[in-house]
């Protein structure tokens, strides 16, 4: 019998195949289902069905299944920060904190209490050995790679984790599940907020944040309408502005270019590629390094949002642990509160929260 590994079994195909592969490799596999959002009376939370799917997977694989709720930790460590950032007019990414604080924090510790020497997940990423220890690399399937969401996890926690599907394409994962008779082989992927699920976002946010209406203005100060509250909008957003045609203006769609928190004003511009939507550089908060911290400027690639193609840039570390990231090509809708994640080739070197942006030369600031 091999060492015990606890697999975070979500009820989806990816974690199911992760468990399957580890069992085939001789590990003593047990599953852990995490239910961390308890308000499911609105019909959007799928935790109950996901648990039944996890039970069916465990039965098919003949492995024990544990169940735990980390709802209190999720609200304290992830969701309260999520709300605070929105109140401040920023746009957070809760999945990054969810991975760091819950999946690779309290859940990993729980797995160790269950006697596991390793924790495993169905993430699309690879943890490879390197001269300085474990390294985080992109998945083989570039379209499914999730290293962006893992950049803030402590390296010692990633080093204690197995991600067996990181070497596989998504199609191959589904085929392995089908061949093994796993009932979730064709279950759709989840794309909602970590543990909260897929639901109308503004309606959901409105349950926790009050409306705070203010003016919608053009970049030159023309009143255009009234917004619901800065918390309900993000840079680059087009939908939901409810701005009709304006006399004397081109018939182009409007996009959010700036949130003026001091005046509670939403500044919008016309056209997807309006110059005020682009930034030449950003100021990042304290860097979380997945390597020895760098001290001098160096070339890299950066993602400022998930699914974005890697963008060539220069990272300039600062003495206080923060950094400036300068893009080779100006980037659209770089959003404070989101994360800038750093790569060299397939290897992820860490990242940081975007604090502010710098306009491209000859353009006014939009941060």
Dist. CA 167–CA 81, nearest whole Å:
33
Determine which one of 45, 98, 300, 348 is catalytic. Answer: 98
Dist. CA 160–CA 147, nearest whole Å:
16
- C-beta of residue 227 within 8 angstroms of C-beta of residue 215: yes
Please state the separation of Cα 253 from the chain's center in Å: 28
Beta bridge partners of 214: 227
Is 98 annotated in the active site? yes
Q: Is 119 helix (H, G, I), strand (E, B) or coil?
A: strand
Dist. CA 264–CA 215, nearest whole Å:
7
Side-chain half-sphere exposure of 336, counting CA atoms within 13 A? 20
- Picking from 200, 208, 19, the residue whose alpha carbon sits closest to that of residue 119 is 19
Dihedrals φ, ψ of 75, to 5°?
-65, -40
Burial category of 209 from C-beta neighbours within 10 Å (exposed 0-12, middle 13-18, buried 19 and up)? middle
- C-beta of residue 208 within 8 angstroms of C-beta of residue 201: no
Determine which one of 45, 194, 300, 348 is catalytic. Answer: 194
Dist. CA 69–CA 74, nearest whole Å:
9
Burial category of 145 from C-beta neighbours within 10 Å (exposed 0-12, middle 13-18, buried 19 and up)? buried
Strand extents, DSSP E, the chain:
4-8, 28-34, 65-68, 118-120, 125-130, 133-138, 161-162, 214-218, 223-227, 254-260, 265-270, 278-284, 288-289, 298-303, 311-317, 323-332, 339-344, 347-359
Give catalytic residue positions. 98, 194
């Amino acid at each position: 019998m091999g060492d015990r590994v606890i697999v975070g079994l979500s009820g989806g195909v990816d974690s199911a195949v992760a468990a399957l592969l580890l069992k085939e490799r001789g590990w003593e596999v047990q599953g852990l289902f995490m239910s961390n959002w308890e308000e499911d009376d609105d019909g959007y939370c799928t935790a109950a069905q996901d648990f039944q799917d996890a039970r069916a997977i465990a039965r098919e694989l003949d492995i024990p299944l544990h169940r735990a709720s980390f709802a209190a930790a999720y609200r304290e460590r992830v969701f309260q920060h999520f709300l605070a950032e929105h109140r401040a007019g920023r746009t957070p990414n809760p999945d990054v904190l969810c991975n760091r604080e819950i999946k690779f924090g309290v859940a990993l510790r729980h797995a160790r209490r269950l006697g596991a020497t390793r924790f495993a997940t169905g993430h699309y990423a690879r943890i490879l050995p390197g001269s300085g220890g474990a390294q985080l690399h992109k998945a083989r399937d570039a379209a499914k790679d999730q290293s962006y969401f893992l950049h803030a996890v402590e390296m010692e926690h990633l080093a204690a984790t197995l991600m067996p599907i990181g070497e596989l394409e998504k199609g191959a994962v589904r085929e392995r599940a089908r061949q093994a008779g796993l009932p979730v082989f064709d279950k759709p992927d989840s794309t909602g907020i970590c543990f909260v699920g897929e639901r109308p976002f503004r309606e959901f946010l409105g349950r926790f944040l009050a409306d705070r209406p203010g003016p919608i203005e053009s970049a030159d100060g023309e009143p255009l309408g009234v917004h619901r509250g800065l918390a309900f909008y993000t840079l680059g957003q087009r939908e939901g502005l409810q701005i009709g045609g304006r006399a004397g203006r081109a018939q182009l769609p409007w996009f959010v270019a700036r949130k003026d928190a001091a005046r509670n004003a939403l500044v919008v511009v016309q056209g997807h590629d309006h110059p005020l939507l682009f930034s030449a550089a950003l100021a990042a908060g304290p860097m979380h390094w997945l390597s020895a911290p760098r001290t001098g400027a160096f070339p890299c690639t950066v993602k400022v949002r998930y699914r974005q193609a890697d963008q060539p840039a220069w990272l300039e570390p600062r003495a206080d642990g923060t950094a400036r990231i300068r893009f080779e090509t100006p980037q659209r809708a770089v959003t404070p509160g989101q994360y800038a994640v750093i790569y060299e080739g397939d290897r992820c070197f860490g990242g940081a929260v975007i604090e502010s942006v710098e306009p491209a030369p000859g353009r006014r600031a939009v941060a």
